[in-house]
Amino acid sequence: MAGIRIADVKSIQEAARIIRDGGLVSFPTETVYGLGADAGNPLAVARIFEAKARPRIDPLIVHVADADSARRYGNIPEIAQPLIEKFWPGPLTLVVEKTALVPPIVTAGLETVAIRMPSHPAALALIRTAGCGIAAPSANPFGYVSPTTAQHVAEQLGDKADMILDGGSCEVGVESTILSLADSPPRILRAGGVPIEELSETLGSIRVSLEIPERPQVPGQLRRHYATRTRLEILDLEAENIREGERTGLLALTPPEDPGKYAAVEVLSRSGSLREAAANLFSALRRLDARSLDRIIARPVPERDLGIAIMDRLRRCSA
Ligand code: AMP
Ligand code: MG
């Protein structure tokens, strides 16, 4: 059982050694906690898929500590420059043509690779000390709600990671926005921590594709994902139909008018801030999921800014 270690100089050095030796480290990022391995070591990366029971067709993100290292793993086109300047380090993942340095298991056999430079200081220190890119998905069993604290990781993957670095709760709280620069014009593959509005401002003519395709092109677009074990439905107040004796939990952006109707209530942001709501989303879902409810009702949030990523996660959770 891997212990949780506060991310400090000493634990980060030990974690870096584990990565170099082919082990698995769960580490904090500003989006969610990752489960990482040396991106250049296919056997180590294979352990990530085993630990998460993740299908081998679902590619990982390579985490780097600067733009120059990104160029070792991907052919970064010119159009990426303004994005890198504005959004790195931060919750923007770029999909580009891969280099020979990336083993096929990282990209699930695709000729493209997803690369991101996280902003969490512990993540950056770990990558720099390890001296290699770190391939990582979120540190949760495949399909479940992503972890935003070290405790979340320990509860579910405690025996699978060789170390869990604790860097506090994740500031952004939802996964990175994934933008494919391998498509022309660039295409958004996943809504996330960088609002689409901000990307559009920087890029001009991006085509936004967030519909969930019948047959997903990439596994991150799976219809059911980020899912609680408890059934979740997205309903506004008018459509609400709580049955006699039913234990219903409510997930809402702001406090409900009649909290007494519900067996449990999670408010994502008292002030209605979508950023604060995103940061609280996955913890709130986990708390509701632990309450043995018959059903979770999630109120829709406005679909702008971080609200787009929140609604994307809720829809996949409810699918
Ligand atoms: P996670 O952040 O845990 O969802 O894992 C990384 C996600 O990044 C995957 O599920 C995919 O959606 C996405 N991804 C990684 N590599 C690629 C790629 N080459 N092309 C498209 N999407 C990718
Ligand atoms: Mg994930």
Intra-chain end-to-end CA distance of the chain, in Å: 33
Stretch 45-74: mean pLDDT:
96
Q: What is the pLDDT of residue 217?
A: 55
The closest alpha carbon to 270, from 285, 258, 280, belongs to: 280
Residue type, 242: I
pLDDT of residue 215: 47
Mean pLDDT of 87-96: 98
| Pairing, β 74-75 against β 92-98 | antiparallel
Do 32 and 86 sit in the same domain of this protein?
A: yes
Ligand 1, atom 22: closest residue by C-alpha: 218
Atom of ligand 1 nearest to the CA of 34: 3
Measured distance CA(103)–CA(158) in Å, rounded: 27
Quote the ligand 2 centre to 237 CA distance (angstroms).
Answer: 30
Q: Identify whether residues 199 and 264 lie together within a single domain.
A: no
Q: Which tokens belong to 205?
A: 């003519």
Helix axes 150-157, 274-289, angle to 10 degrees: 30
Indicate whether 194 and 276 sit together in one domain: no
Instruction: Work out the pLDDT band at 212, boundaries 50, 70, 90.
Output: very low
CATH number for 19: 3.90.870.10
Q: 51 and 176 share a domain?
A: yes
- 216 compared with 300, residue with greater pLDDT: 300
Q: Which of 150, 176, 208 is the last residue of a domain?
A: 208
What pLDDT does residue 224 have?
78
Which among 178, 212, 221, 224 is the best mutation to test ligand 1's pocket, defined by most ligand atoms within 8 Å of the CB? 178
Identify the pLDDT of residue 187: 86
Q: Is residue 247 part of a domain?
A: yes
Distance 288 CA to ligand 2 centre (A): 19
Does the beta carbon of 312 sit less than 6 angstroms from any atom of ligand 1? no
Give the residue carrying structure tokens 């000390």: 129
> And the tokens for 236?
């506004």
Domain boundary among 173, 208, 243: 208
220 lines ligand 1 (CB under 6 A): yes
Residues 146 and 262 in one domain: no
Higher confidence at residue 58 or residue 208? 58
Asked if residue 218 has pLDDT above 70, the reply is no
**Beta carbons within 8 Å of 85's beta carbon, 6+ residues apart:** none
Confidence of residue 230 (pLDDT cuts 50, 70, 90): very high
Confidence of residue 203 (pLDDT cuts 50, 70, 90): confident
Confidence at 222, pLDDT banded by 50, 70, 90: low
Alpha-carbon gap, residue 33 to 95, rounded angstroms: 20
CA–centroid distance, 281 to ligand 1, in Å, is 20
Q: What is the 3-state secondary structure (H, E, C) of the chain?
A: CCCEEECCHHHHHHHHHHHHCCCCEEECCCCCCEEEEECCCHHHHHHHHHHHCCCCCCCCEEECCCHHHHHHHEECCCCHHHHHHHHCCCCEEEEEEECCCCCHHHHCCCCEEEEECCCCHHHHHHHHHHCCCEEECECCCCCECCCCCHHHHHHHHCCCCCEEEECCCCCCCCCCEEEECCCCCCEEEECCCCCHHHHHHHHCCCECCCCCCCCCCCHHHCCCCCECCCCEEECCHHHCCCCCCCCEEEEECCCCCCHHHCCEEEECCCCCCHHHHHHHHHHHHHHHHCCCCCEEEECCCCCCCHHHHHHHHHHHHHC
Copy the structure tokens of residue 28: 């904090």
Both 161 and 301 in one domain: the answer is no
Closest listed ligand to the CA of 177: 1
Q: How far is the C-alpha of 160 from the C-alpha of 165, rounded, in Å?
A: 14
Q: Between vectors from CA 108 to CA 48 and to CA 16, what angle results, nearest 5°?
A: 35
**111-149, pLDDT tens digit by residue?**
999 999 999 999 999 999 999 999 999 999 999 999 999
The yes-or-no verdict on residue 271 having pLDDT over 60 is yes
Residue 58 Cβ inside 6 Å of ligand 1? The answer reads yes
**Distance (Å) from CA 236 to ligand 1 centroid:** 31
Quote the pLDDT of residue 301: 98
CATH code: domain of residue 256: 3.40.50.11030
User: 70 is in which domain, residue-wise?
Assistant: 4-208
Does 205 score more than 80 pLDDT? Answer: no
Average pLDDT (83-92) is: 98
Task: Check residue 35 and give its pLDDT.
Answer: 98
Give the number of domains in the chain.
Answer: 2
Q: At what angle do helices 306-318 and 274-289 cross, to 10 degrees?
A: 20
Give the distance (Å) from ligand 2 centre to CA of residue 140.
7
Is residue 83 domain-resident? yes
Of the three residues 175, 208, 241, the one that is the final residue of a domain is 208
Residue at 295 is within a domain: yes
Q: Both 18 and 87 in a single domain?
A: yes
Within this chain, do residues 83 and 134 fall inside the same structural domain, yes or no?
yes
